[in-house]
Structure 1
Amino acid sequence: MKKLLFTASVLGVLAAYTGPALAADCDITIGVVLELTGPAGEYGQAGAKSVEMAFRDFNDAGGVGGCKLITDTRDSQTQGNVAVDQATQLVNIKKVPVIIGGIISPMSIPMLTSVTAPAGVVQVSPASSSPTLTALGREGKTNGVFFRTITSDALQGTAAAKYALDSGLKKIAIVHVNNDFGVNMVREFKDAFEKLGGTITSVTPYNEKQSSYATEASAAMQGDPEALYLVSYPVDGATVARAWISGGGPQKFLLNDGMNSADFIKSVGAQYLNEAYGTSSGTSETASTKYFYANYEAFSGGIKPDAPAADRSYDAGAIVALATAKAGKGDAAAIKAAIPMVTDPAGEPIHAGKEEFAKALALIKDGKPIKYEGVIGPIAFDQYGDITGPFRLWRIKDGEVTTMGEMSADDVSKVKASLK
């Protein structure tokens, strides 16, 4: 009898230790490759916290059959070769079914072409807006695995051109980061701006991480421009803007979405940016928007909910989580097939947060379609993984970013069509 009791006690102790281990064995690891440092570090830090928050909400709601989604987050350092190396490790060694990232296009494109597309691993970018990503889809080079929660710059360039002219910026110099994002954005903007009647006095590319951009700023001042269109990221963008101001350039700016940044404003000086205008991929407010804005700052440890890429990174995480639940396992092909099913226009609307995700999991269990309506608005992907949405028109005044209006995707498309 004593021997039986001892055996039972040992088995009980073993069960106590093996139970949690077995539960951990069913966790599903999702790769995250974001720009945590480097010129785009502000974006990546906000994005990483947003993905964590989405997964926290999803796991608290029940996860994938009681199993949790966990992240293996890597820093691309805003360098394409590092992004590829990190993605390769996640795919080949960790065997992740999904990679969330990168934030900017020069990180996402090489990861897609070198790693995720060949491996058939799903890739969801929160903020890579280059038209090249659409072109790769059209050319059949993405293997159908790429999705993004931001609109293409093919439309944003036109929106920026129209907004610039409407704001009285008619004679503009351009300084842009010399990468896929910058080149594409400027091409789309230049074509629309000139056809709408504007004048571009010069186009000056720059290479990242220089200690000084005085030469580029000086070159951009030729032709007596009235304003500067700066296509950049917060760190380098602030250095370019300071060089422009100190060289006597007009204190009038047109800015891309990345310059909608508290760090950029602080670094340049709010007093120099009272006539700074910008465009961003916008949002259509939903219950998810209200939830995110009410809860993100506390979760993130002080990052503002309007930080670049924060809102759409939560949506990227939420869509990956819901699609994994729909797939029922951490399988790349099954998750890829499930993404359209959790953003089904005919499905039951689902919003952000634990309670809504619990509702989604119940519907998925019953085999019913769902439609995730995100922080940025209702989301539906086309065959190339693109979405459509409004563009936010904003202005910096007294150090604060104020929304001045928006242009719908239809409005921008009409302007674009009128220029042909």
Structure 2
Amino acid sequence: MGASAGRRSAVLMGAVALLLAGCVGGDEEPRGGSDGGDGVFRLGYVLPETGQLASQGPAQIESVRLAVKEINDAGGVLGQPIPEVTASDEGGNAGVAARSADRVLASGVDAVIGAAASDMSLAIIDTVTGSGVVQCSGSNTAATFTDYPDNGLYFRTAPSDALQATVLSKVIVADGEQRVAVVARGDDYGRGLLKSITKELKDTGIPVVLGETYEPGSEDFDRVARKVREVNPDAAVVVAFDEGAAVLRAMIEAGVGPRDINVYGTDGLRGARLASEVSPDDPGVLAGLKGTAPATGNGEYTARLRAFAPEVRESQFAPQVFDCVTIVALAVEATQSDDPIVFATAINEVTANGERCTSFADCKRLLDRGTNIDYDGESGPLDFVEEGEPGRALFDVYTYDASGALRTVRTEEGSATN
């Protein structure tokens, strides 16, 4: 079926052999779904109900539920409906995320969706994949995961920050910037983007005159803003999560806000409420800020999600989470097994080098006829590479207008060959 999973398949076949050996001579049963499968595909998630990414939680959680509904409406997986999803909160805290993963695994799931934050996935990936369970994140973008030793069981539909950096750098270059400062969270997400953006800009001859990180739990960003002002840049990039509003306020007060220099952001600064969070009395203070983020789709998915869950306001990473659930379910169908060690070998393959299909129902019909499939998801073409992540992806270029409203300017493709 489709492209070979290469190294990951070799790792997984080795895991199958070890599993069989354990079944013959071992007394300890692994947790989770690595028990050969029982014909029922069980799913859980570790996603932000509280914590620093809580604003993104509803869209991701409801996307899991919407995907499950549409799969079950199409006949389910292996002829059985997916049971109620086991839910747990990543909480923006490594300890909370780890305990949540333990609870989800204890329920006997075959796959875990999440976590949302890269740092939270790093807190649970060894436990999840070490238990022989598949993990798929729709929003982990840190480059760390590309070659992480995950037993071939970790996947992501969110593109690596290395791809986002190529698109953002093109935007900055096209705007004619000459001296760029970069301010970033001091975690895998922030440091990874700082490194990738710096490399991309330097490769085009644009110097990065400041690369400054801050502790993720910081509340005072005056020092960071002063450092930006001191290097006298004509542009600044801010890599942040929810604390981005406080970072921007400090930059504005220091005279290096969007009205003073060109300011750019990444996916963490894309939010309908950001301008009012920065300045409730003057949301237009963000006018002109530009950024890039993994595409939220063509609008049809967002409308479908909001019809399903009217309370959802933000849609960042929602289509990517929907695609996570869908490709894992399609891999189970492709292998006719709910054993994670088995169906993980088909996850890459259902996203490339087959007949194009765009829904679980349509793809399943092709699989039932013995046809190789290429699932193009709600987030765009996936075309997974050997490492279990998109080899190319669509990114929205966004901006804030004079009223502080978030607008999507255009969509561009980023790829490893750009």
Query: What TM bracket, shorter-length normalisation?
Result: 0.7 to 0.9
| Greater share of helix | 1
How many positions carry a matched residue from both structures?
A: 372
Q: Distance in 2 between matches of 1:66 and 1:371?
A: 23
Q: How does 1:1-400 map onto structure 2 within 5 Å?
A: 28-64=41-77, 65-91=79-105, 93-112=106-125, 114-136=126-148, 141-233=149-241, 235-251=242-258, 252-269=262-279, 270-282=283-295, 289=298, 291-304=300-313, 307-347=315-355, 349-352=356-359, 357-387=360-390, 388-398=392-402, 399-400=404-405
Q: Do 1:63 and 1:325's aligned partners in 2 also have CA atoms closer than 8 Å?
A: no
Unaligned runs of 5+ in 2: 1-37
TM-score, scaled to structure 2: 0.82
Secondary structure of the residue aligned to 1:162 is helix
Secondary structure of the residue aligned to 1:395 is strand
Deviations 1:45-71 (A, max 9, x none): 211111110111111111121332431
Q: Distance in 2 between matches of 1:232 and 1:279?
A: 13
Q: Distance in 2 between matches of 1:290 and 1:325?
A: 28
Q: Distance in 2 between matches of 1:28 and 1:144?
A: 19
Q: Do 2:157 and 2:389's aligned partners in 1 also have CA atoms closer than 8 Å?
A: yes
Q: Distance in 2 between matches of 1:332 and 1:83?
A: 21
Secondary structure of the residue aligned to 1:212 is coil
Q: Distance in 2 between matches of 1:343 and 1:71?
A: 24
**Deviation of the 1:277 alpha carbon:** 1.0
**Deviation of the 1:291 alpha carbon:** 4.3
Deviations 1:129-172 (A, max 9, x none): 11111122xxxx11111111122112222322221121243322
**Deviation of the 1:344 alpha carbon:** 4.3
Give the direction of change, closer, same or farther, for the CA distance of 1:202–1:144 in structure 2 (3 Å limit): same
Identity, % of aligned positions: 27
TM-score, scaled to structure 1: 0.81
Q: Distance in 1 between matches of 2:389 and 2:363?
A: 23
Give the direction of change, closer, same or farther, for the CA distance of 1:366–1:397 in structure 2 (3 Å limit): same
Give the direction of change, closer, same or farther, for the CA distance of 1:369–1:158 in structure 2 (3 Å limit): closer
Larger radius of gyration: 1
Amino acid at match of 1:45: P
Give the direction of change, closer, same or farther, for the CA distance of 1:204–1:409 in structure 2 (3 Å limit): closer
Amino acid at match of 1:151: P
Q: Do 2:397 and 2:411's aligned partners in 1 also have CA atoms closer than 8 Å?
A: yes
Corresponding residue for 2:10? Answer: none
Deviations 1:247-278 (A, max 9, x none): 32232311001211112232124311112111
Q: Do 1:98 and 1:121's aligned partners in 2 also have CA atoms closer than 8 Å?
A: yes
**Deviation of the 1:303 alpha carbon:** 2.1
Give the direction of change, closer, same or farther, for the CA distance of 1:224–1:131 in structure 2 (3 Å limit): same
Give the direction of change, closer, same or farther, for the CA distance of 1:261–1:313 in structure 2 (3 Å limit): same
Q: Distance in 2 between matches of 1:404 and 1:363?
A: 36
Q: Does 1:413 align with 2:411?
A: no
Aligned structure 1 segments of 4 or more residues deviating by more than 4 angstroms: none
Q: Do 2:164 and 2:414's aligned partners in 1 also have CA atoms closer than 8 Å?
A: no
Q: Do 1:125 and 1:147's aligned partners in 2 also have CA atoms closer than 8 Å?
A: yes
Q: Distance in 2 between matches of 1:165 and 1:158?
A: 11
Secondary structure of the residue aligned to 1:147 is strand
Q: Do 2:240 and 2:269's aligned partners in 1 also have CA atoms closer than 8 Å?
A: yes
RMSD: 2.3
Secondary structure of the residue aligned to 1:66 is coil
Secondary structure of the residue aligned to 1:42 is coil
**Deviation of the 1:341 alpha carbon:** 4.4
**Deviation of the 1:229 alpha carbon:** 1.0
Unaligned runs of 5+ in 1: 1-24, 415-420
Q: Distance in 2 between matches of 1:150 and 1:82?
A: 23
Secondary structure of the residue aligned to 2:152 is coil
Amino acid at match of 1:259: L
Amino acid at match of 1:257: D
Amino acid at match of 1:253: V
Q: Distance in 2 between matches of 1:130 and 1:404?
A: 25
Give the direction of change, closer, same or farther, for the CA distance of 1:40–1:290 in structure 2 (3 Å limit): closer
